[in-house]
Structure 1
Amino acid sequence: MLVYVTGPENRITLEDTGFFLDFCPVEGEPGRIEVDVRPPGTPPPIFDAGVRIDARGCLGAVRMKGCTFLAIVVPPVDSIGCEDEDVEQVREVLFYSLEGGHLPLARTRAHPCYHLRKVLTDGSFYYSKTFDLTSRLATRIKAQNQLAEACTPIARADAPEPAPSPCYHNGTQEFVWNTHILQPLRALRDSLDPQVQSAFDSRSFILPVIQGFYGASEVTLGAEKVMLAVISRRGWARAGTRFIKRGIDDAGNVANFAETETILQTRDKTLSFVQVRGSVPLIWTELPHWHGSVEVHLAEPVDAVSLPPLLSHFRWLVKEYSEVHIYNLLSDLPTGSLAAEALLGQAYSAILSLAQAKDPNLADKVIYEAHSIHKDEMESGGLARVPTIIAQDLEPHITEFGATIAKADALTGKYSLITPQKGTFRVNCRDCLDRSNLGEFSISVDMLTQQCQKLGLPSFRGSALEALHRKLFADSGDALAMIYAGSGTISGSFVRTGKTTARQMAENAANSEKREIQALLHDKEKNRATEILTGQYKKCEPPPIFIVKASCRGTKSAPRLRLF
């Protein structure tokens, strides 16, 4: 996609597959933008004194301080994926003002989009133009089958409707992090001629992104080369920073929610295993503390206030993942600096019991289990045995849930499902960062140990695959912690190496200090920018409205296109 900035008024034109979109603000109507669609063969804009930029796609449109901005991803981007599943990491975003008057590179605090750019270019956003990065494998297979059914020819006299756009232009909405700011562009797309829609869809004019982590690499396991990927997708509905966003909201969305998918691809099969993490699903807050005891405050009365949103949350989890095994890693020590965690865990268990009494389906589908890593550390002399203890504790349930296993057709590349994953683990501690990542890592290790054996692969333990798994899970945990708290995970070095050293303990102390600095100096502005991007900010300006010129709507004579 090309972006042209032309004329003394800095008019914006986008070009893709030969089509041009000219944006012009409607005089006297703030936030209303007229769009002129020009077909292939039209001369490009005259940009003697202007600019032409090669871009990757649009993240959305937003109104800031009375101006409409297009957020557009431009190079450099980091390519991370393997083979046909190419993934790119967002590194730079330009904000083009459709009313003119602002430079696109929002690097100074005076720019209305300065804080938005800081969030979008922090290395936590990823997209793919070859597959739906926002959805787990099981969901992608389901969407593939639905798309195949929708495209099946039907004998009738009139001409068939245009084929639906590829599923990755929509994605799993809970994890499409720019859902809110994409809405004006989706409305613009839907008002275009179907052939123009297909043209822009073919090159990802609309670019859904995830926030979280993507990492993938190939290693040799025995005589076979395999690919391992770890994908963490953060939910956006209650996104924000650590001390500002805790617990659950009235709609059942929890803070710091993330779906982590471990993918193992062999010569003829693809395996996917999904876990989720998220804040304790009660309405509660935590006061910032740098030293001394944790202070947690539950909204009273707890059952009346927290039961309805908790019900909504677990009904959604059961709908999405079938069975849910809660693995609560809050400390259960009644005294000491973490005593408040024990009280929070007791309230969690009690309110969940009320929910299960109210909804028999939750009683059948949701299991609650509490496990104190701190107690494991004290009894075993450190973290070294914790993954083994967790794996032994959960092994029967890991076996029961299994993993999604699919086979790809060598010619079409389409997946056929062999076995589905029958349930998921919902892991939490207080922040859903350090202990949660260690817990999910331990579960993933046991899953891969079991599945390698079932797939007839060499032993996972001690292999290059195990070393890669450690690295990817540590990188994922660090990425999620950096987004929410401003530092890597406290347990990251142990996950990465399997050892605890004096140097690592010093790194942990440094990470704690980074979190204090983040909370004191940066969280408020970062949280506000996050809320603007996700539509949570109460003082947001209304989104822009794009009006397609009447001559451009539903044009029957539009030339047919060769799609790339």
Structure 2
Amino acid sequence: TTSTSASPLFSPRHTTPEKFFIEACDEGADAVLAIDRVSNEMTLTGKKDVPPSAVTRPICGIMGTIRLVAGMYLIVITRKRNVGSLLGHAVWKAVDFDVISYKKTVLHLSEIQSQENKTFLSMINNVLTTDGFYFCTDYDLTHTLQRLANTSPDFQEMSLLERADQRFVWNGNLLRELAAQPELHKFALPVVHGCILFTEFIVMKPCRINGKIFEWILISRRSCFRAGVRYYLRGIDSEGHAANFVETEQIVLYEGAKASFIQATADRPGSRFAVAFDLQSELTTRGSMPFYWSQRPNLKYKPKPVISKTTNHMDGFQRHFDSQLLIYGKQTILNLVNQKGSEKPLEQAFAKMVSGMNNGMLNYIAFDFHKECSAMRWDRLQILVDDVAETQEEYGYFMVNSDGKTVAQQRGVFRSNCMDCLDRTNVIQSLLARRSLQSQLQRMGVLNVGQRIEEQAEFEKIYKNAWADNANACAVQYAGTGALKTDFTRTGKRTRWGLLMDGWNSMIRYYKNNFSDGFRQDSIDLFLGNFAVDESDGPTPLRVQKDWKFLTLPIIMLVAFSMCIVCLLMAVIEWAKTNSEEATRGLVKNDLEQDILPRMTNAAVILSLKTTDKEMNGRVSAGGKVQGNGLWVDGLITKLRSDSSILAAQQLQSSTIWGPHSSSTVLLCREQDASARSNTCDTWTETLAYVAFWGAASAITATIILFNGQDFVDAPKL
């Protein structure tokens, strides 16, 4: 399975103002790739042609070249990390990249062009910073072990670029210039996108069951055909490529024998190959339902899916499954969507088209995941696994013994899907993969007959965590967050913490799907060559301006909502203030009735708490004093007419008039309850009116925005 014309490790990149020189670090190799920074021409030269004045920097590989507004750019891998070894070949994960302009400056660009060039550069970097790019310089990661084992000797002599499965070469568009010149193929490094997990590198020790050590590897390859992000890429294209296609391969190696389990998930079929003393490759393809439907973001939490009414679905459907059947053999379709609500028409359409295709190699099973597992009844998933057990045995797996002889071939795959082909699909795939792996390990002699993987606590933990990590990697690449329901994958049951994390990830998905995924979709389209930048002075799609509603209505809603909140806060403050004043007046009245008045004797004048201003003024002499049975009391009217009634009462109790003249005490007091309550009522009415006005304004604006939701999301522009 090793290519005799493997891509070399790249060491120096020499840069001069006129050229890039990329030198192969093969021992004794003299080949140097020269790229003219003016004419864009690529040629093969020798080390002697590299000027001594060239600036040298190490690189790990060439991703390719791309044309942006400023001209051509060279994309190179600057840092890598070893993730494991597959059949003796080092597998690397690309960690850092550099995007280098052929042009020395961008002064030839206008201000608008310069800004657009920066935007396109940020798009390229957006894709490159998405985790999950892997490469191998002397092994073909794009093919399964089974496909490689079934190839001819001539195939083995091809360069990695020529023989790669183009579905999984994510830098295929970037390598076009190198691909056009066969002598430069050795410099072309095919890169896959997805997830590759070597358990020995995850847990830093080999897997062990019954004292027997073996290697277990999990590989997911994401198709670059109809690649994109959640909601913006659904269904299939005219070529039959399904969205979010991922091919997952499970490989087991034991005492020189290797076993592999293949699961293909995606829009297009994929397969995984495994070579071993006992190799089982069970393929389940996950991918979007293969007909024309869409589910564009519109600010709603779950946009309603729409099936196209103007397209011939059977043409694309036929192309999709013709390809699947050719690559993988028989297909069992596991449709996990809801069989009610907005997902029901999709399930019905899928079932109808499978029936209309009338192909005996297709088997369709609808399993309402959410209904069957409602009320935390996750054990019911075993119903589906048991139902397909016989079919899984029929499909078998690919196996090669330690002598290199193929002793079994995988003859069919399971194609599983839900709406996103992520969360529900991940759970089902991990269950099917466990059953397949158990069969492999028993045949290899690692597990005894009758033993179950679930009983091997140490390996079961490794297995669950690896599948959960694989699920998260696939989900981040498509939906922007980790997968949901991974607590079940990791622990075998749903947990409260898992439910909380699902809620958190769902909120993040909502934000990204509506407000950032348009840019991410544009980035992928640019990277894969679905959109080509024109260097002409003409406007690019980036110059398309949003409608006036895009900024105006959200600003109005934000202002109205803010004012509504402010008014509510004012109402709360006023309510607290009113309660405090009423409590104060109540305390004064209580003190007067229960303490002061009972202690009075022979009072000559007692003015009621309800004495009116007119009555009060009638008792006040011209000198501002009130006479009561020969006793003059100064200043009490002012004190008791104020809101500081408690203080006034306390001063009355402690004044000199209390003891010596207790036989003829005068109390002057006035309560303004009615007036205060009237003022409070007016304030409340005014505040509630403001709340109602601003609340209605924000609600009406929000309704208009939701009604025109697609105008307010971050939609792709390219």
TM-score (norm 2): 0.64
Asked if 2 retains the 8 angstrom alpha-carbon contact of 1:404 and 1:421, the reply is: yes
Amino acid at match of 2:348: Q
Q: CA deviation at 1:519?
A: 1.4
Distance 1:262 1:517 in 2: 34
Match of 2:507 in 1: 513
Alpha-carbon contact 2:83-2:198 (below 8 Å) kept: no
Q: What is the CA deviation profile of residues 497-545 of structure 1, one whole-angstrom value per residue up to 9, with x for unaligned ones? A: 21222111111111101111221332111111111222222x4449xxx
Query: How far off is 1:326 after superposition?
Result: 0.4
Distance 1:6 1:263, change over 3 A: closer
CA distance in 2, matches of 1:252, 1:519: 25
Alignment of 1:428-439 (within 5 A): 428-439=417-428
Instruction: Quote the offset at 1:126 in angstroms.
Output: 0.9
Question: Which residue of structure 1 aligns with residue 585 of structure 2?
Answer: none
1:561 alignment counterpart: none
Pick from 49, 52, 57 the counterpart of residue 56 of structure 2. Answer: 52
Q: Cα gap change, 1:350/1:21 in structure 2, threshold over 3 Å: closer, same or farther?
A: same
Distance 1:15 1:497 in 2: 49
Q: Is 2:391 aligned against 1:397?
A: yes
Q: CA, structure 1 residues 36+319, in 2 after alignment: closer, same or farther (shift >3 Å)?
A: closer
Secondary structure of residue in 2 paired with 1:114:
helix
CA drift at 1:395: 0.8
Instruction: Say yes or no: does 1:347 pair with 2:355.
Output: no
Note if contact 2:134-2:192 (Cα within 8 Å) is conserved in structure 1.
Answer: yes
| Distance in 2 between residues matched to 1:367 and 1:382, nearest whole Å | 29
Residues 1:290 and 1:509: Cα distance change in structure 2 (over 3 Å): farther
1:364 alignment partner, one of 360, 371, 387? 360
1:233: how far off? 0.7
Tell whether 2:316 aligns with 1:312: no
Cα distance, 1:4 vs. partner? Answer: 3.6
User: Which structure carries more helix by proportion?
Assistant: 2
**Match of 1:233, SS?**
strand
Structure 1 residue corresponding to 2:414, chosen from 415, 425, 434? 425
The answer to whether the 8 A contact 2:14-2:50 is kept is: no
Q: Is the 8 A contact 1:60 1:178 kept in 2?
A: yes
Correspondence 1:132-211 to 2 at 5 A: 132-143=140-151, 146-147=152-153, 164-167=157-160, 170-188=163-181, 190=182, 192=183, 201=186, 205-211=187-193
Q: Corresponding residue for 1:93?
A: 97
More deviation in 344-353 or 117-126?
A: 117-126
1:241 Cα shift?
0.9
Contact 2:69–2:117 under 8 Å retained in 1: no
Q: 1:383 to 1:515 in 2, by over 3 A?
A: farther
Residue type at the aligned position of 1:490: L
How far 1:290 sits from its partner (Å)?
6.1
8 A Cα contact 2:198 2:218, kept in partner: yes
Query: Aligned partner of 1:122: which letter?
Result: T
**1:157-213 Cα deviation digits (max 9, x unpaired):** xxxxxxx3344663111111111221211113x1x3xxxx5xx73xxx211111111
Cα gap change, 1:181/1:355 in structure 2, threshold over 3 Å: closer, same or farther?
same
Deviations along 1:223-282, one digit per CA (max 9) or x if unpaired, are 221111111111111001111111111110111111111111111321222221100111
What SS is found at the alignment partner of 1:253? coil
* Residue of structure 2 equivalent to 1:156: none
Shift of 1:472: 1.4
Aligned partner (choices 64, 70, 91) of residue 68 of structure 2: 64
Tell me the CA shift for residue 150 of structure 1: 6.7
RMSD over aligned Cα atoms: 2.4
- Find 1:268's aligned residue among 231, 250, 256: 256
Distance 1:292 1:252, change over 3 A: same
Amino acid at match of 1:179: G
Count residues with an aligned counterpart. 482
SS of equivalent to 2:124: helix
Deviations 1:87-115 (A, max 9, x none): 1111111112223337xxxxx98374222
Query: Partners of 1:386 and 1:265 in 2: how far apart?
Result: 32
Aligned mates of 1:70, 1:131 — CA distance in 2: 24
**Aligned with 2:124 (options 116, 141, 146):** 116
Work out the CA distance in 2 between the residues paired with 1:383 and 1:62.
51
Over 3 Å counting, the alpha-carbon distance change for 1:78 and 1:513 in structure 2 is: farther
Q: Aligned to 1:21, which of 33, 40, 45?
A: 33
Aligned-pair CA distance for 1:25: 4.1
- Cα 1:530–1:167 change in 2 (3 A) is same
User: For the structure 1 residues 66 and 475, does the alpha-carbon distance in structure 2 shift closer, same or farther, using more than 3 Å as the test?
Assistant: same
For the pair 1:75 / 2:71, whether they are aligned, the reply is no
What percentage of aligned pairs have identical amino acids?
Answer: 25
- Say if 1:383 and 1:268 are closer, same or farther in 2 by CA, change over 3 A: farther
The equivalent of 1:285 in structure 2 is: 294
CA contact 1:127–1:207 (8 Å) conserved in 2 = yes
Taking structure 1 as the reference length, the TM-score comes to: 0.80
**Secondary structure of the structure 1 residue equivalent to 2:175:** helix
1:44 counterpart letter in structure 2: V
Q: 1 CA distance for matches of 2:219 and 2:334?
A: 20
Where does the alignment leave 5 or more consecutive residues of structure 2 unmatched? 1-9, 107-115, 200-205, 264-284, 536-718
8 Å Cα contact 2:229/2:517 also seen in 1: yes
| Contact map agreement 1:12 1:96 (CA 8 A) in 2 | no
Aligned equivalents of 1:75, 1:365: Cα separation in 2: 46
Distance of aligned partners of 1:476 and 1:3 in 2 relative to their CA distance in 1, 3 Å threshold: same
Hey, what does 2:135 align to over in structure 1? 127
Q: Which amino acid aligns with 1:310?
A: F
The residue matched to 1:439 in structure 2 has which SS?
A: helix
Amino acid at match of 1:24: D
- Counterpart amino acid of 2:324? L
Q: Is the 8 A contact 1:273 1:421 kept in 2?
A: no
Letter aligned with residue 352 of structure 1:
V
Quick one: which amino acid aligns to residue 319 of structure 1? Answer: L
- Measure, in 1, the Cα distance between the counterparts of 2:30 and 2:445: 50
Q: Deviations over 1:22-72 (max 9, x none)?
A: 22245xxxxx522343235x163223xx53121121111110114111211
1:176 maps to amino acid: V
Match for residue 222 of structure 1 among 210, 215, 218: 210
1:244 aligns with 2:232: yes
Counterpart AA for 2:343: E
The corresponding residue for 1:154 is none
CA distance in 1, matches of 2:422, 2:320: 20
Residues 1:383 and 1:472: Cα distance change in structure 2 (over 3 Å): farther
Q: Which moved more, 1:288-297 or 1:87-96?
A: 288-297
Please list the CA deviations of residues 257-312 of structure 1 after superposition, one character each: whole Å capped at 9, or x if unmatched: 111111111113212222211001110111326656650110005xx521100000
2:594 matched to which residue of 1? none
8 Å contact from structure 1 (residues 383, 500) kept in 2: no
Deviations 1:433-475, CA, capped at 9 Å, x for gaps:
0001111111111112222223322232222333222111111
Aligned-partner Cα distance in 2 for 1:440–1:150:
32
Aligned-partner Cα distance in 2 for 1:540–1:65:
6
Distance 1:499 1:70 in 2: 48
Equivalent pair of 1:56/1:72 in contact (CA under 8 Å): yes
Q: C-alpha offsets along residues 352-409 of structure 1, whole Å, 9 cap, x if unaligned?
A: 22222xxxxxx1211111111112212xx41531442232121111111111111355
Tell whether the 8 Å contact from 1:239 to 1:256 is kept in structure 2 after alignment: yes
| Cα displacement string for residues 138-167 of structure 1 (whole angstroms, at most 9, x for unaligned residues) | 112123xx12x578xxxxxxxxxxxx3344
3-state SS of the aligned residue for 1:113? helix
Q: SS in structure 2 opposite 1:90?
A: strand
Match for residue 375 of structure 1?
A: 371
> Secondary structure of 1:214's match?
strand
